[in-house]
């Protein structure tokens, strides 16, 4: 079940080096007009879920079949972007994110621990610094940036702004099994040669203490400490191709070790004996032409030594700020596709006024517990369909509405919901 969003965030300019470089990537494009840049994007969303939110809705599905519906309003992200071009190829980019309008800590009901109430710290501090880096550009094909970076593995991480997906919420499959938006500290080499764009990163490793049953490695990049642990390391790679008009094809992947990337480092036991190798491979595409927008992705992940995670010290110690004794799958996957057609393209007056109305549909299938020994957690095996509209009254603003339906295994109850949202994305200066 996804929470709904009012997000203030900024599209990345040419300073940012993201892959949003032609009409295949974004409805809204901007031009750099000064050295100093200020921008944002955001979503306000409202949901009614027509299924139970009880902690035992899966373990005792029959008892909760007739439970009442429930609703949620939320502001998961409010992000402000500031950038500056110092000249001579040197530039700065920052992205400051406020999550759920809060301070970084909240009480949560832990389904994986029998419905206990816990005070969770998602990130140390009151705000989250999603990006902070300094870049030196030598040529279009050779750029280096150092600092806190977005890890562009998968469609959702590389293109997470609200005009880059139709549904009120970010694509659910990738958002479930991978960190989202995935950001870590490291070094990034990127560039573009002709119709090809590449990006290679060296990063702090993920932390296996944060892996969970229902989210796989989703929380692995988070740190409750004042620093990001970098005892183990990881690398990511992304390649995009823009050869065909309106079409972008992308391949991305990640590899790194996760067990033992914790604090304090345990010199004995599982923490020192196993690696917890994480490998993720992803393919994604965006087509934006002839009044159609079509997007799709497929991700597959592998976690080595997954069966050993229950014996990691920080996951056994109930006083640690990590997830305790939560079984984690060796494999996880997510794939999905969405397509929308601009109905206003056929009405001359509306077309000339710049208004758009996309009628869209989406299908996705994901499973955070895809290993054969995780069958008792098969409520994580979800097929989801969504239908709805995106109305763009002006450039950079969208009103969204969709009806979503999760189809679970037959012994569980399906999960329909109605979602409404409004979003914007653009530069202020």
In a domain, 367, yes or no: yes
CATH number for the domain harbouring residue 106: 2.40.160.10
pLDDT of residue 30: 45
- pLDDT for res 234: 98
Name the token pair of 138. 């030598």
What confidence score (pLDDT) does residue 318 get?
78
Give a yes or no: residue 53 inside a domain: yes
Flag whether 13 is in a domain: no
String of DSSP letters for 324-364: -S----SEEEEEEEEEEEEGGGGSHHHHHTT-EEEEEEEEE
In a domain, 9, yes or no: no
Sequential DSSP letters for 3-67: PP---------TTT--S--STTT-S------SSEEEEEEEEEEEEEE-S---TTTTTTGGGGTTP
Question: 229 lies in which domain range?
Answer: 36-427
Q: Could you state, in chain order, the average pLDDT of each consecutive group of 10 residues for the chain (429 residues)? A: 34 37 47 81 94 95 95 85 96 87 66 67 68 96 97 96 94 96 96 98 96 95 89 97 98 97 86 95 98 98 95 82 85 98 98 97 98 95 98 97 97 97 91
Question: What is the rounded distance in angstroms from the CA atom of residue 343 to the CA atom of residue 352?
Answer: 13
The residue among 28, 71, 78 whose CA lies nearest residue 53 is: 71
pLDDT at 35: 93
User: How remote is the C-alpha of 223 from its chain's centroid?
Assistant: 17
Q: Which residues contact 71 (CB under 8 A, 6 or more apart)?
A: 46, 47, 48, 49
Residue 26 within any structural domain of the chain: no
Q: Using an 8 Å Cβ cutoff, are 406 and 250 in contact?
A: no
Does any domain span residue 12?
A: no
CB–CB of 309/183 below 8 Å? no
What is the model's pTM? 0.87
Domain membership of residue 17 (yes or no) is no
Which pLDDT belongs to residue 74?
86
Q: Is 414 exposed, middle or buried (0-12, 13-18, 19+ CB in 10 A)?
A: middle
Q: In angstroms, rounded to a whole number, what is the distance separating the alpha carbons of residues 285 and 301? A: 19
Question: What domain count does the chain have?
Answer: 1
Task: Judge whether 29 lies within some domain.
Answer: no
- At 100 the pLDDT is 74
Q: What is the pLDDT of residue 18?
A: 40
Which of 180, 172, 181, 216 lies closest to 382 in space, CA to CA? 172
Q: For the chain, how big is the Rg over CA atoms in Å?
A: 21
């Amino acid at each position: 079940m996804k929470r709904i969003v009012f997000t203030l965030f900024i599209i990345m300019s040419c300073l940012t080096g993201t892959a949003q470089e032609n009409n295949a990537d974004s409805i809204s494009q901007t031009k750099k007009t000064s050295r100093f840049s200020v921008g944002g994007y955001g979503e306000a969303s409202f949901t009614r879920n027509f299924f139970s939110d009880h902690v035992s809705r899966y373990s005792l599905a029959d008892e909760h079949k007739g439970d009442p519906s429930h609703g949620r309003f939320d502001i998961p992200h409010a992000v402000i972007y500031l950038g500056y071009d110092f000249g001579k190829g040197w530039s700065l980019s920052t992205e400051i994110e406020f999550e759920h309008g809060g301070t970084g800590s909240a009480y949560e009901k832990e389904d994986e621990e029998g419905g206990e109430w816990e005070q969770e710290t998602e990130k140390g501090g009151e705000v989250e610094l999603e990006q902070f880096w300094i870049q030196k550009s030598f040529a279009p094909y050779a750029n280096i940036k150092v600092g806190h970076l977005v890890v562009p593995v998968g469609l959702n991480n590389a293109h997470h702004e609200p005009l880059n997906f139709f549904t009120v919420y970010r694509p659910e499959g990738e958002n479930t099994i991978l960190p989202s938006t995935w950001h870590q500290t490291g070094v990034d080499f990127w560039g573009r040669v002709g119709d090809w764009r590449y990006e290679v990163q060296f990063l702090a490793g993920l932390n296996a203490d944060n892996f969970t049953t229902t989210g796989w490695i989703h929380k692995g990049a988070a740190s409750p400490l004042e620093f990001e642990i970098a005892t183990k390391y990881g690398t990511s790679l992304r390649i995009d191709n823009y050869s065909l008009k309106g079409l972008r094809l992308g391949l991305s992947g990640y590899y790194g070790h996760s067990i033992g990337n914790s604090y304090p480092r345990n010199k004995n036991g599982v923490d020192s004996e196993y690696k917890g190798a994480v490998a993720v491979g992803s393919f994604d595409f965006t087509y934006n032409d002839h009044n159609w927008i079509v997007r799709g992705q497929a991700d597959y992940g592998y976690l080595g030594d997954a069966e050993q995670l229950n014996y990691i010290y920080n996951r056994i110690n109930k006083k640690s700020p990590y997830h305790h004794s939560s079984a984690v799958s060796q494999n996880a996957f997510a794939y999905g596709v969405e397509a929308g057609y601009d109905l206003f393209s056929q009405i001359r007056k509306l077309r000339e006024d710049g208004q758009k109305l996309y009628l869209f549909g989406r299908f996705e299938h994901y499973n955070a517990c895809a290993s054969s020994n995780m069958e008792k957690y098969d409520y994580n095996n979800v097929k989801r369909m969504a239908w709805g509209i995106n109305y763009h009254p002006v450039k950079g603003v969208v009103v969204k509405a969709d009806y979503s339906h999760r189809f679970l295994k037959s012994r569980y109850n399906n999960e329909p919901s109605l979602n409404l949202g409004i979003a914007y994305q653009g530069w202020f200066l």
